[in-house]
Amino acid sequence: MNIGYYIKSSRKKNKLTQEKLAELVDLSIKHIQNVEANKYLLSLDKFVEICNVLNVTPNYLLQDDVEQAKEEQFAVKKAAVKKHKQRELKIMCNLLDEIMSDGLQEDE
């Protein structure tokens, strides 16, 4: 999780000190420091407040988490596929081809 990195980067782009950000979102300076160091998480309401103060979207602050989740999902799928024998994989591929061709014919 790199939310802290993006908060710190955005805070600096907005020329805000940790003290000023803490004041604007009603948190302690120590809390902001720990968030930026990825030691603390934010409550949802404070997360939204920080997004508003820094003029960034939640997606911007969460971008690494989204990528990490995609990579984890891919790894799980890859591991599941590796469990099956080659013959089973061919059957699954044929089944998927069949399903997809049926779906395409229904769309026409």
What's the maximum distance between 2 C-alpha atoms anywhere in the chain?
63
Domain co-membership, 60 together with 19: yes
Domain co-membership, 60 together with 97: no
Whole-model pTM over 0.95: no
Per-residue pLDDT tens over the stretch 8-35: 999 999 999 999 999 999 999 999 999 9
Whichever domain contains 28, its CATH number is 1.10.260.40
Overall average pLDDT of the 82-96 stretch: 79
Distance CA 12, CA 56 (A): 13
pLDDT confidence of residue 64: 66
pLDDT, greater one: 2 or 9:
9
> Which of 34-43, 84-93, 99-108 has the weakest average pLDDT?
99-108
What tokens does 42 get?
């934010």
Buried (b) or exposed (e) across 20-51, using 16+ Cβ within 10 A?
A: ebbeebebeeebbeebbeeeeebeeebbebbb
